[in-house]
């Protein structure tokens, strides 16, 4: 491998030196012009990682996020489709923060040495990007890094984030008994469609579902899937809205999962009619939020990640009982501190399932979910999935059913394991899962809404002088630094009924986040504002 080739390629994608960057909650995030040099360096890291893993392919995704002007991201996907191993996040950070092209090339060779990577072996990187034009120059930086390091490179062009995770796993399991599916976008649709039909088991979906696609990549991809879905088999009636990807400026504008979750209301356009079942994806189709306007009360009701997790966990636990598997496999739910306290209580007390709390970011939830035979994980914002361990899948296939009901439950479990994306939270796959579960339970949204009542809550973004002053412990539920801040938060929380509040530095934005919940709306709002003031006070001046 040629040092000069790396230096020359790096010069084409200069990086604006500034503050040090860290591999955050979901990869590196920053304005597109800065991200170009970062993406080149992510390519170098991937060239090392694929070789370290014996040539298994590494995925790199350039993604859409909430603010198309400022907030762009690049992240690395490991061979089985899960997030980059944490130890390697540090190496990624080291490469990104190199001060010159020469230092970068030297650091690359030094890391190869340190990690005992054979640079003469072969490696492979596959890439995907969202619908924004900035993605084109970003993947060019990636492909230049691969060329300079003799790494095979395949550009899958525009994809949803979960599709790239799917493809990464498929490439690496091709021809193996553990093959995850056909390594193509068409293979992804085929797998979903066939598992969806099998999971429905002749049940019919009642009413239509309207999917707001945030004017992001989920729109065209969902339309692709719908081309092969046969509604006569399941009764699915899926209407796709906000699927215009030709105008990048309207991505996530007044629509999408993040809009619905943070504003706690439906997108203004098109406007849902009372009683209609709606859901929203986010810009790269890895988050999902359901909602409706209750025709009886005319009030807006949202089914966020916590609700989707409880729905999935209760259905799968019922199937376990029906299949005679109780006690044989462990089901658990993984949440973050942002999960509504009422959902946690419902899972522990009503469903009688264990709950684990991890730091923010699906990489943490995913790893914790792997510790269960069936691990249901969702962030409150609608990002999550259900992981079925290989042992669990084998048991469903092998166990001899004692009755037609057991056979039915075992086959439904098997189909769910195929339908639900096993690599990462996938809004399209999760949406089909929700439709399957509602149809099996014979539930309308009212039934789903009645399972428990959310505690009123408020999430506030607080700009501070230095967010890095804020360090947390206890799965981000407490501040260890700055000294004194947590005591003040504790004293404030005590003054409210059924209250909980915490603060942490965002891993994707230059700000802190404060979450508060309490018995009433006004108490939750008031508490959030008080804690935000404490954070501001300790935040090192704006
Ligand atoms: C409160 C919240 O929604 N935080 C989001 C947000 O992370 P922050 O580290 O809070 O900025 O972006 C992450 C990546 O999309 C997502 O995983 C996470 O849930």
Report the candidate in 275, 272, 282, 354 with the shortest Cα–Cα distance to residue 317.
354
Pick from 126, 158, 190: which residue ends a domain?
158
The token duo for 472 is: 């947390």
Tell me the β-bridge partners of 376.
333, 386
476 part of a folded domain: yes
pLDDT in tens, 50-62: 999 999 999 999 9
CB-side neighbour CA atoms (13 Å) of 286: 26
Query: What's the CA gap between 12 and 10, in Å, rounded?
Result: 5
- In the chain, count of helices (H) and strands (E)? 19, 19
231 part of a folded domain: no
CA R_g for the chain: 23
**CB 492 within 8 Å of CB 527:** yes
Report the candidate in 26, 41, 40 with the shortest Cα–Cα distance to residue 71.
26
For residue 540, the model assigns a pLDDT of 84
CA torsion through residues 5, 11, 12, 13, sign: positive
Domain count, the chain: 2
Question: What confidence tier does 454 reach under pLDDT thresholds 50, 70, 90?
Answer: very high
For residue 382, the model assigns a pLDDT of 98
pLDDT in tens, 187-196: 999 999 999 9
Domain extent, residue 99, equals 3-158
Residue percentage of the chain with pLDDT more than 90: 91
Query: Which residues lie closer than 8 Å to 501 by C-beta, 6 or more apart?
Result: 489, 492, 493, 514, 515, 516, 517, 527, 528, 531
* Pocket lining: 508 vs ligand 1, CB cutoff 6 Å: yes
Query: What's the CA gap between 279 and 290, in Å, rounded?
Result: 4
Check whether the bond before 218 is cis (ω within 30° of 0).
no
Is residue 102 marked as binding?
no
* Pocket lining: 29 vs ligand 1, CB cutoff 6 Å: no
Checking if the pLDDT of 450 tops 80, the result is yes
Query: What's the CA gap between 203 and 321, in Å, rounded?
Result: 20
Outline where 346-403 has alpha helix (H): 362-369, 390-398
Checking if the pLDDT of 514 tops 70, the result is yes
314 part of a folded domain: no
For residue 17, the model assigns a pLDDT of 65
Q: Supply the DSSP symbol for 336.
A: E
Q: Is this complex's ipTM strictly greater than 0.95?
A: yes
CA torsion through residues 143, 24, 369, 351, sign: negative
Closest atom of ligand 1 to CA, residue 338: 1
pLDDT in tens, 131-149: 998 999 999 999 999 999 9
Tell me the β-bridge partners of 129.
62, 158
Pick from 158, 182, 202: which residue ends a domain?
158
Residue 65 catalytic?
Answer: yes
130 part of a folded domain: yes
For residue 248, the model assigns a pLDDT of 87
249 part of a folded domain: no
pLDDT in tens, 490-511: 999 999 999 999 999 998 888 9
* Pocket lining: 25 vs ligand 1, CB cutoff 6 Å: yes
CA torsion through residues 502, 505, 508, 513, sign: positive
Tell me the β-bridge partners of 332.
375
Q: Which residue's alpha carbon is at the smallest distance from atom 6 of ligand 1?
A: 508
Please tell me the distance between residue 507's alpha carbon and the centre of ligand 1 in angstroms: 7
Checking if the pLDDT of 68 tops 90, the result is no
Checking if the pLDDT of 275 tops 70, the result is yes
309 part of a folded domain: no
Checking if the pLDDT of 25 tops 80, the result is yes
Per-residue pLDDT averaged across 234-248, rounded? 96
Is residue 199 marked as binding?
no
Report phi then psi at 465, rounded to 5.
Answer: -65, -45
Checking if the pLDDT of 98 tops 60, the result is yes
Closest atom of ligand 1 to CA, residue 362: 17
Report the candidate in 129, 128, 105 with the shortest Cα–Cα distance to residue 48.
105
Query: Which residues lie closer than 8 Å to 339 by C-beta, 6 or more apart?
Result: 305, 306, 357, 380
Q: What is the CATH number of the domain that holds 148?
A: 3.40.120.10
Rounded to the nearest 10 degrees, what angle do helices 404-419 and 305-322 cross at? 150
Q: Which residue's alpha carbon is at the smallest distance from atom 2 of ligand 1?
A: 381
For residue 507, the model assigns a pLDDT of 87
229 part of a folded domain: no
Q: What is the CATH number of the domain that holds 531?
A: 3.30.310.50
**CB 424 within 8 Å of CB 366:** yes
Q: Is 205 helix (H, G, I), strand (E, B) or coil?
A: coil
Per-residue pLDDT averaged across 285-294, rounded? 96
For residue 32, the model assigns a pLDDT of 87
Closest atom of ligand 1 to CA, residue 25: 9
Tell me the β-bridge partners of 461.
513
From 10, 46, 65, 501, active-site residue: 65
Q: DSSP characters for 365-418?
A: HHHHHTTSSEEEEE-TTSBEEEEE-HHHHHHHHHSPPSSHHHHHHHHHHHHHHH
Per-residue pLDDT averaged across 371-381, rounded? 97
Q: DSSP characters for 4-20?
A: HHHHHHHHHT-----SP
Checking if the pLDDT of 542 tops 70, the result is no
Pick from 97, 128, 158: which residue ends a domain?
158
The token duo for 151 is: 């790494």
């Amino acid at each position: 491998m040629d040092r000069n080739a790396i230096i020359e390629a790096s010069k084409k994608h200069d990086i604006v030196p500034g503050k040090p960057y860290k591999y955050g909650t979901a990869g590196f995030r920053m304005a597109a012009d800065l991200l170009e040099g970062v993406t080149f360096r992510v390519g170098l890291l991937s060239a090392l990682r694929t070789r370290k893993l014996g040539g298994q392919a590494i995925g790199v995704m350039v993604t859409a996020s909430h603010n198309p002007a400022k907030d762009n991201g690049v992240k690395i996907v490991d061979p089985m489709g899960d997030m980059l191993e944490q130890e390697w996040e540090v190496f990624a950070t080291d490469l990104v923060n190199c001060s010159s092209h020469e230092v970068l090339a030297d650091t690359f060779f030094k890391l190869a040495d340190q990690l005992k990577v054979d640079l003469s072996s072969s490696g492979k990187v596959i890439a995907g990007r969202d619908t924004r034009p900035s993605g084109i120059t970003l993947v060019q930086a990636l492909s230049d890094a691969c060329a300079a390091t003799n790494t095979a490179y395949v550009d899958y062009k525009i994809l949803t984030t979960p599709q790239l995770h799917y493809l990464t796993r498929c490439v690496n399991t091709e021809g193996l008994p553990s093959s995850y599916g056909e390594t193509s976008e068409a293979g992804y649709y085929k797998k979903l469609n066939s598992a969806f039909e099998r999971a429905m088991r002749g049940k019919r979906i009642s009413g239509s579902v309207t999917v707001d696609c945030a004017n992001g990549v989920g729109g065209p991809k969902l339309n692709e899937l719908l081309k092969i879905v046969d509604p006569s088999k399941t009764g699915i009636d899926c209407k796709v809205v906000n699927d215009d990807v030709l105008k990048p400026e309207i991505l996530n504008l007044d629509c999408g999962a993040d809009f619905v979750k943070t504003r706690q209301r439906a997108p203004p356009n098109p406007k849902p009619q009372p009683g209609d079942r709606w859901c929203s994806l986010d810009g790269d189709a890895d988050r999902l939020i359901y909602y409706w306007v209750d025709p009886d009360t005319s009030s807006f009701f949202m089914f966020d990640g916590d609700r989707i997790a409880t729905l999935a966990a209760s259905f799968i636990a019922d199937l376990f009982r029906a299949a005679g598997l109780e006690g044989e496999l462990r089901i658990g739910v993984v949440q973050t501190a942002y999960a509504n306290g009422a959902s946690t209580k419902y899972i522990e007390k009503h469903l009688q399932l264990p709950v684990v709390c991890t730091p923010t970011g699906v990489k943490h939830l995913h790893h914790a979910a792997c510790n269960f035979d069936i691990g249901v994980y969702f962030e409150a914002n609608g990002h999550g999935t259900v992981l079925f361990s290989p042992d669990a899948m084998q048991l469903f296939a092998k166990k001899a059913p004692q009755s037609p009901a057991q056979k039915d439950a075992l086959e439904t479990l098997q189909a769910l394991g195929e339908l639900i994306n096993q690599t990462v939270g996938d809004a399209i796959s999760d949406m089909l899962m929700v439709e399957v579960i509602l149809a099996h339970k014979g539930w309308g949204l009212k039934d789903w809404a009645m399972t428990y009542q959310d505690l009123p809550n408020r999430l506030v973004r607080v700009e501070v002088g230095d967010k890095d002053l804020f360090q947390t412990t206890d799965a981000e539920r407490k501040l260890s630094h700055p000294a004194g801040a947590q005591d003040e938060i504790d004293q404030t929380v005590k003054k409210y009924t059924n209250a909980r509040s915490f603060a942490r530095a965002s891993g994707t934005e230059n700000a802190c986040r404060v979450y508060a919940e309490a018995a009433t709306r006004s108490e939750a709002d008031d508490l959030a504002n008080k804690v935000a003031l404490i954070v501001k006070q300790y935040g090192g001046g704006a």
